[in-house]
C-alpha cells in the first residue's frame, strides 16, 4: 500500500474540515420551515385551482342564462297583429275611439279596419268610405289612413276628413286643423294646410288641390248635409247614403 505524504494528508484534512463547517452552517429548522411553507403554498394553489374549476362549472350556465334573458329583454318582441273592424250602416253615423285615444266618425256605409294594439312606430288604419279623424298627437308614431286605391294620408296629430267610397270616381282629403301629407300611387307627396282639399281622380290618377269651406265638407258628422254648387248626382248619392233610401232622378 502506498503511503500518502504529509502534505496530501493535510490537504484532505483541510477539505474534510471545510465540508464539516458547511454542514454545520446549514440551518435545519429554517430549511424545514421553508419546506413546510412551500408545501402549504402548493396545497393552497391546488385548492384555489379546484375552486376555480367549480366556479367556472357553475358560472357558465348562469352566464348563458343571463345572456339569453338580456337578449329577450332588449329584443323587440314580435307583434302578432290582431285587427278590429267597425262599420257604419247606411243611414247612420257612428263615433268611435281608437286604441291610441284618437277619435273617428264614420259616415254611412263606411268601414274602418285597425289593429287592436297599435305598433310602437306607427298607427295604421284602413278606410273604405268616409271618416272624420281627430288624431292624438304623437311625433314618434305617425298616423296613416290607407285606402284601397293606394292613396295614403300621413299625419302626426290633426283634424281631417277622408272620403274614399269605392263607388265614387275620386278620393277626397280635406284638412281642418294641423298638417297632413297625402301620397298617391306614382305621385309626389302633397302637403295640405288647413282649409285645403285634395282630390285624387281614380281613373287618371290626377291630383287637384283647392281651397274649400271645411264645414261644408265635415258637417255630416253633426247630422247635417250642406251642398253648394254641387252636381245633382253627387247630392242624390249623399242623400241616399245618409238616409238609407233609394232616390231616382229623371231629367
Least-confidence region, from 3-12, 71-80, 171-180, 207-216: 71-80
Find the radius of gyration of the CA atoms of the chain: 46
Phi then psi for residue 98, to 5 deg, are -80, 170
Statement: residue 242 has pLDDT above 90: no
Supply the pTM of this predicted model: 0.68
φ, ψ (nearest 5 deg) of residue 6: -60, -35
Mean pLDDT over 219-239 rounds to 88
Q: How confident is the model at residue 58 (pLDDT cuts 50, 70, 90)?
A: low
- Cβ neighbours for 97, distance < 8 A, ≥ 6 positions apart: 103, 104
Q: Which three cell numbers stand for residue 89?
A: 250602416
CATH number given to 83-243? 2.60.120.1440
The cell for 150 is 293606394
Query: Residue 145: helix, strand or coil by DSSP?
Result: strand
Mean pLDDT, residues 70-75 taken together: 60
Tens digits of per-residue pLDDT, 139-198? 899 999 999 989 999 999 999 999 999 999 999 999 999 999 999 988 889 999 999 999
pLDDT-derived band at 121, boundaries 50, 70, 90: very high
Q: Report residue 134's pLDDT band, with 50, 70 and 90 as the boundaries.
A: very high
Lowest mean pLDDT, pick from 13-22, 129-138, 199-208, 230-239? 13-22
Helices and strands (H and E) in the chain: how many: 4, 13
pLDDT at 251: 67
pLDDT at 25: 58
Amino acid at each position: 500500500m502506498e503511503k500518502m505524504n504529509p502534505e496530501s494528508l493535510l490537504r484532505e484534512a483541510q477539505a474534510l474540515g471545510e465540508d464539516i463547517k458547511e454542514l454545520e452552517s446549514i440551518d435545519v429548522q429554517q430549511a424545514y420551515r421553508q419546506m413546510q411553507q412551500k408545501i402549504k403554498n402548493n396545497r393552497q394553489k391546488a385548492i384555489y385551482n379546484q375552486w376555480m374549476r367549480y366556479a367556472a362549472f357553475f358560472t357558465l350556465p348562469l352566464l348563458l342564462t343571463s345572456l339569453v334573458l338580456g337578449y329577450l329583454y332588449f329584443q323587440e318582441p314580435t307583434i302578432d297583429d290582431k285587427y278590429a273592424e267597425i262599420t257604419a250602416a247606411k243611414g247612420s253615423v257612428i263615433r268611435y275611439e281608437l286604441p291610441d285615444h284618437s277619435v273617428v266618425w264614420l259616415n254611412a256605409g263606411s268601414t274602418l279596419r285597425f289593429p287592436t294594439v297599435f305598433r310602437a312606430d306607427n298607427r295604421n288604419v284602413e278606410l273604405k268610405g268616409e271618416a272624420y279623424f281627430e288624431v292624438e298627437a304623437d311625433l314618434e308614431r305617425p298616423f296613416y289612413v290607407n285606402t284601397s286605391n293606394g292613396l295614403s294620408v300621413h299625419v302626426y296629430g290633426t283634424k281631417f276628413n277622408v272620403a274614399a267610397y269605392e263607388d265614387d270616381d275620386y278620393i277626397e282629403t280635406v284638412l281642418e286643423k294641423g298638417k297632413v301629407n297625402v301620397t298617391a300611387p306614382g305621385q309626389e307627396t302633397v302637403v295640405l294646410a288647413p282649409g285645403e282639399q285634395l282630390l285624387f281622380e281614380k281613373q287618371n290618377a290626377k291630383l287637384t288641390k283647392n281651397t274649400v269651406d271645411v264645414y261644408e265638407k265635415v258637417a255630416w258628422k253633426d247630422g247635417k248635409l250642406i251642398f253648394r254648387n254641387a252636381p245633382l248626382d253627387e247630392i242624390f248619392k249623399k242623400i241616399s247614403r245618409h238616409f238609407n233610401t233609394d232616390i231616382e232622378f229623371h231629367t
